[in-house]
Each structure stands twice: as structure tokens, then as C-alpha cells.
Amino acid sequence: MPDHDPDELASFAAILTQLLPGTWTSAHRLHTAHDDQFFLTADVWDMNQVAEVIAHRPLKHDVILTRDDGRRLFLIDHPHHEDEFLVAAMARADTHAEAFRDVREPDGIAIPADPEQATEAITTHLLPRYESALAQVQDNAARITRPSVKADTLVLTWTETGDLSATTEEPDVAEILANNGFAHDPESKAYVLSGDDTAQQAHSVRTVGARLAALGVGVALRHAPHRAPLGTTPVATPQAPARQVRSR
């Protein structure tokens, strides 16, 4: 990953808070240990390039952009292009896991280092997908009348290493898992799907979801319990943002 100056990402994020529609704040976080990033990024709502970066590259820092209505965006350096950043939506941590059933992730996007162009890309592409996914989740949540996940839902739980784990006592469900890359762990009695290849992992999850849907079984993604988050450093808003952080 290009060795960006942490202040550059923080300053870029602060400018975005002034340009994005609504009232936004930003918090710059520095990571001291690679393992911690899996807990600190557990709510990132992505199964594409942002998820791949989180799974395979140590993040030295990131920025959380928060709107006054609770919407959040996750911002990091682009691993290959110094003149770009990656941004993704973040799911609400207090939402029941089953509410995300059959809701496609509003996958993140690459944005240019020019704040105005980045704002246009976020507003045009990411935020509409984010709002659509949130609306589906909220609609699902409103229909949930019991606190526990229904018996006809298979829960896939993210582990701190980026793997997915599931348990089932149904032979037909177990067969579908085994046929799509989930390895059975006799000790934990769980079926584990490796996160080493995030593209293959996402494909397996979609295939499993389709196979289980034919049996009337849904799929819910759930994150493992969070550890206590590390402290965050608030980012001060720059006095008068220049036109660009960098030129392409």
C-alpha cells in the first residue's frame, strides 16, 4: 500500500465533511496492530475491493465519516494508486443480523484525490446504494418480532481472521456448505469458509445463499463480538480548504 502521510488522509476527509450533503464529522484512527483492524472495521459494509484490502493488508490508519443521522463512511488509502482513496458504507452495529438477510452490500468505490470529484462520485454512486440497502434493512428489521434469529435462517459469522463460520444440524444444509468451500471443523462442529481469497469467498456465499433459498432457508451475516475499540483522534476542520489535496 502506498505510504501516505496520515495527515493527508485526515485533511482530505475533513474537506469531504464540508462538501458532502448533510452535516458530517470525521474521526481519524491510527492502528497499532494488524489484528485489531478486524474488530475496528467489523461494520464495513462491503464484499468487494474494500473488504479485500481489510482482509489482506495491514491498515496503518483510516477515517470514519459520520453524518448527523448516523450514516457512516469508511475511508482508507488506495493500495495501488496514490492519487485515489477507497470509501465504503458502514452498517449500523445495533441492527439485528437477520435484518440484513437477502440485502446486497452497497460495495465501496475508488474515489479520486480531488475532493470535489470524490464528493460527486460518493453522492452519485455510493450514497444511493447505501440508502437503498439501509431501506431494505430497516424494512426487514421492522418485520422482526422476536429477538432471536428464526430457525429457517443460517447465520454466517465473521471471525477475526476474515473467515466465515456456520453451524447447522441439518444434513442438506451441511451438504450445501461442504460443496461450496466450507470445511468442517470436528472440534468446534462448525463449517468454516476461508477468507484468504475474498472474491472466491463472496462467490461461495452468494452460491450458498441461492442454494439455501431454494430450500426456504435464509442467510444472515453476523460479526463476532467486538473487542473494546481503540481510542480515536478527532480531526480538526481546516480553516479554508484549498481546491485540491493533490492533483491527479
Query: Could you report the per-residue pLDDT of 141-178, keeping only the tens digit for each?
Result: 888 754 444 457 899 998 888 899 999 988 999 999 99
Instruction: Report the distance separating Cα 193 and Cα 227, nearest Å.
Output: 22
Instruction: Report the distance separating Cα 181 and Cα 170, nearest Å.
Output: 17
- Which of 114, 52, 45 minimizes the C-alpha distance to 85? 114
Domain residues of the chain, as ranges?
A: 6-145, 153-223
Residue 29 confidence (pLDDT): 92
Residue 228 confidence (pLDDT): 41
- Beta strand residue intervals within 91-237, DSSP E: 109-112, 153-158, 164-166, 183-185, 190-193, 218-223, 233-234
Helix (H) or strand (E) holding 61: strand 61-67
pLDDT-wise least confident of 36-45, 200-209, 232-241: 232-241
**84 or 224, greater pLDDT:** 84
**210 or 238, greater pLDDT:** 210
Residue 99 confidence (pLDDT): 86
pLDDT at 131 over 90: yes
Helix (H) or strand (E) holding 7: helix 6-19
Model pLDDT for residues 138-151, shown as the tens digit of each residue: 988 888 754 444 45
Edge-to-edge strands, sheet with 218-223:
183-185, 190-193, 164-166, 153-158, 218-223
| Whole-model pTM over 0.75 | no
